[in-house]
């Protein structure tokens, strides 16, 4: 269906008006005029403002909001009347309309509750979502092929999707910096004042935003470079890639000019405005390059499967153990929530990337051939985009709400898991899971660092417990699916050295867990009591008992015994870290 020039002009006008609303919202916040009109929907009980500057600034923001709403209403009516047969077009304008209604309601709540930080951030997030929908619509009317059904995009387009998600997260972290009064905490650039890397306080929040910007920048610029290389594959891809890259560089320059100009008003106002422009650019270039269809319910379920929720829950439990022990009791709710969200995102992102790089192996193994990627239920680029996006979210959440040490450790865990274990060790050495187990042992370090901002001996002992637990746990599984690993050509210990060597190795690592868990009790300086001690001894001895049974088991009983040991190993780690949490809480 051909879209008329008047309709296209109406789309562009609606996008421009909405963009001005968001930009002026930044002016409202920078100037501190959020309560210039302390009531809603009127302003001081009137529809026309007084001469007070803050009142006029806030009133003009509302005026732009009304103008944007009228333009959007005209767009919705026109679409439903003239283009209702185009389902994608209708879906986009209806989504924009619903988001606009939500925006008005959130705006009212912000004023009535007198600018609570959470609702102010939600107001910004919803506004940026409106811009994203309208940008998608504008791209569609400019290049109609982007809203027509076509084959999915190539894997490189995942970088663009991850860059768009990262830009959204970056804007929200910027809003948090402003809301936490951390904007002027660092008066130099690129490092903070004395060149240190602050871990706590306003300076740490400010620097965390810069670190997130650096990571997002790498992803965005890499995506723009790939888009430029493939510019002949889609209309508008080249110009949008250039525009996105230039806008990002401009945003970095303006961000640097904030401290360098001693936070002059123009720099403070330009920073969020250009951030919104960058967001529109990343959405536009992603829409042009990306698969335009929305995921189905089954697709969403498969995307959740890519994050390996079962493994994620166990890793989060070990992170909680590190937090409780570091805090010598129950950590604060905010820090607990941030660590759980950041840890879950890091774990899920690492799992998605792992399954992308392992998809050739998974195709050859009966146990894994029905996973979303080998069965081709999920496009490869979706897994890449999900993995990168979740890790950007993890770093941002941990850096902003915990500290940069915890955020860096989470990122290091993902990089080690993918580049050291998945791409190198797993395919090349029988010691793959021994060395590679370090990736799964990092969550307790993240939990500890989230509380203390450092890593003490107790944290490293928690790391060692998970590290030495991993081979015993994984080799028991490897005994059960030995044929699968042999078929896939993976040099797991049972495949290369046989079952006897594997059972001896399991026993050695099971025995090592007993002194390690006791050493943690000895050096915890009163942080752990007898409840933990009894649990550690009992759980460890049972683990050793299972390992001895496996070593002595006849060939006909070995698989059944290995299954029992594998299941108990999961229970061991769970109960040991639960004992840490319960013991520290009771002692508190």
The pLDDT of residue 291 is: 54
Burial class (CB in 10 A: 0-12, 13-18, 19+), 152: middle
Average pLDDT rounded to a whole number, residues 68-95: 89
> pLDDT tens digits for 126-185?
999 999 999 999 998 887 766 554 445 567 788 888 899 999 988 888 888 887 778 888
Instruction: Write the CB contacts of 18 (distance below 8 Å, at least 6 apart in sequence).
Output: 68, 71, 72, 127, 130, 131, 134
Does residue 51 register a pLDDT over 80? no
The pLDDT of residue 476 is: 95
Cis peptide before 104, with omega less than 30 degrees from 0? no
The C-alpha atoms of residue 458 and residue 524 are separated, in whole angstroms, by 6
The C-alpha atoms of residue 134 and residue 19 are separated, in whole angstroms, by 10
Residue 486: other Cβ atoms inside 10 A: 16
Does residue 535 register a pLDDT over 90? yes
Tokens of 456: 């003490």
The pLDDT of residue 385 is: 85
The pLDDT of residue 150 is: 47
Instruction: Write the CB contacts of 136 (distance below 8 Å, at least 6 apart in sequence).
Output: 92, 147, 283, 284, 287
The pLDDT of residue 153 is: 55
The C-alpha atoms of residue 411 and residue 391 are separated, in whole angstroms, by 7
Tokens of 494: 């049972």
- The gap between the terminal CA atoms of the chain, to the nearest Å, is 68
The C-alpha atoms of residue 575 and residue 201 are separated, in whole angstroms, by 35
Question: Is residue 30 very low, low, confident or very high in pLDDT (cuts 50, 70, 90)?
Answer: confident
> pLDDT tens digits for 415-470?
999 999 999 999 999 999 999 999 999 999 999 999 999 999 999 999 999 999 99
The pLDDT of residue 28 is: 82
The pLDDT of residue 84 is: 84
Does residue 270 register a pLDDT over 60? yes
Beta bridge partners of 43: 46
The pLDDT of residue 550 is: 94
Question: Is residue 295 very low, low, confident or very high in pLDDT (cuts 50, 70, 90)?
Answer: low
Domains of the chain, CATH where assigned? 1-148 (no CATH), 152-293 (no CATH), 302-587 (1.10.600)
> pLDDT tens digits for 470-519?
999 999 999 999 999 999 899 999 999 999 999 999 999 999 999 999 99
Does residue 296 register a pLDDT over 70? no
Residue 12 main-chain phi, psi, to 5 deg:
-65, -40
Average pLDDT rounded to a whole number, residues 267-282: 91
Query: Taking the CA of residue 206 as centre, how many other CA atoms within 13 Å lie in the half-sphere pointing to its CB?
Result: 24
Residue 198 near residue 205, CB atoms below 8 Å: no
Lowest-confidence pick of 274-278, 364-368, 568-572: 364-368
The pLDDT of residue 546 is: 95
Instruction: Write the CB contacts of 43 (distance below 8 Å, at least 6 apart in sequence).
Output: 36, 37, 49, 55, 58, 59, 62
CA distances from residue 48 to 40, 71, 83, 392 in whole angstroms, order as listed: 13, 21, 38, 44
Lowest-confidence pick of 41-45, 88-92, 340-344, 347-351: 41-45
For residue 372, the Cα-to-chain-centroid distance in whole angstroms is 20
> pLDDT tens digits for 196-242?
677 777 888 888 888 889 989 999 999 999 999 988 888 888 999 99
Give the chain's count of helices (H) and strands (E). Answer: 22, 0
- Of 400 and 245, the structure prediction assigns the larger pLDDT to 245
* pLDDT, averaged across the chain: 88
**Has this prediction a pTM greater than 0.85?**
no
């Amino acid at each position: 269906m051909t879209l008329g020039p008047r309709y296209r002009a109406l789309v562009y006008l609606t996008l421009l008006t909405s963009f001005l609303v968001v930009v002026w919202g930044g002016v409202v916040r920078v100037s501190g005029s959020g309560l210039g009109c302390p009531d809603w929907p009127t302003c001081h009980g009137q529809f026309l403002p007084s001469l007070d500057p803050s009142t006029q600034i806030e009133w003009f923001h509302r005026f732009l909001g009304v103008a944007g709403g009228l333009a959007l209403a005209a767009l919705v009516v026109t679409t439903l009347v003239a283009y209702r047969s185009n389902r994608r077009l209708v879906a986009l304008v209806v989504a924009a309309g619903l988001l606009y209604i939500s925006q008005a309601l959130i705006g009212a709540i912000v004023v009535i509750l007198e600018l609570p930080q959470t609702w102010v951030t939600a107001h910004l997030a919803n506004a940026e979502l409106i811009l994203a929908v309208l940008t998608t619509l504008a791209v569609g009317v400019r290049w109609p092929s982007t809203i027509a059904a076509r084959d999915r995009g190539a894997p490189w387009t995942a970088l663009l999707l991850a860059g768009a998600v990262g830009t959204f997260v970056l804007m929200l972290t910027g809003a948090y910096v402003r809301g936490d009064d951390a904007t002027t905490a660092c008066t130099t650039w690129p490092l903070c004042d004395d060149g240190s890397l602050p871990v706590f306080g306003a300076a740490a929040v400010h620097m965390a935003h810069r670190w997130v910007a650096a990571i997002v920048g790498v992803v965005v610029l890499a995506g723009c470079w790939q888009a430029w290389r493939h510019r002949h594959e889609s209309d508008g891809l080249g110009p949008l890639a250039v525009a996105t890259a230039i806008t990002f560089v401009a945003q970095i320059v303006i961000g640097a000019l904030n401290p360098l100009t001693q936070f002059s008003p123009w720099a403070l106002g330009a920073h969020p405005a250009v951030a919104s422009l960058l967001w529109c650019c990343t959405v536009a270039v992603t829409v042009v390059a990306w698969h335009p269809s929305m995921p189905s319910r089954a697709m969403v379920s498969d995307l959740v499967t890519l994050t390996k929720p079962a493994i994620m829950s166990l890793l989060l439990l070990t992170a909680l153990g590190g937090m409780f022990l570091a805090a010598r009791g129950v950590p604060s709710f905010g820090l607990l929530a941030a660590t759980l969200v950041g840890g879950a995102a890091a774990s899920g992102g690492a799992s998605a990337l792992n399954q992308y790089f392992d998809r050739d192996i998974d195709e050859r193994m009966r146990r894994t051939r029905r996973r979303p990627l080998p069965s081709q239920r999920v496009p490869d680029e979706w897994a890449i985009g999900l993995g990168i996006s979740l890790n950007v979210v993890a770093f941002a959440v941990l850096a902003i709400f915990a500290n940069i040490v915890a955020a860096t450790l989470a990122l290091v865990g993902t990089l080690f898991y993918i580049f050291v274990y998945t791409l190198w060790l797993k395919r090349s050495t029988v010691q793959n899971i021994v060395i590679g187990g370090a990736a799964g042992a990092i969550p307790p370090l993240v939990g500890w660092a989230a509380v203390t901002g450092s890593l003490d001996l107790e944290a490293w002992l928690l790391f060692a417990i998970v590290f030495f637990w991993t081979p015993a746990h994984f080799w028991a599984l490897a005994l059960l699916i030995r044929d699968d690993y042999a078929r896939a050509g993976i040099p797991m210990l049972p495949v290369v050295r046989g079952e006897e060597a594997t059972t001896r190795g399991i026993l050695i690592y099971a025995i090592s867990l007993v002194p390690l868990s006791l050493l943690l009790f000895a050096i915890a300086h009163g942080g752990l009591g007898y409840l933990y001690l009894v649990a550690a001894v009992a759980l460890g001895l049972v683990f050793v008992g299972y390992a001895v049974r496996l070593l002595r088991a006849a060939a006909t009983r070995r698989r059944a015994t290995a299954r029992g040991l594998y299941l108990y190993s999961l229970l061991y780690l769970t109960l040991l870290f639960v004992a840490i949490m319960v013991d520290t809480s009771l002692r508190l």
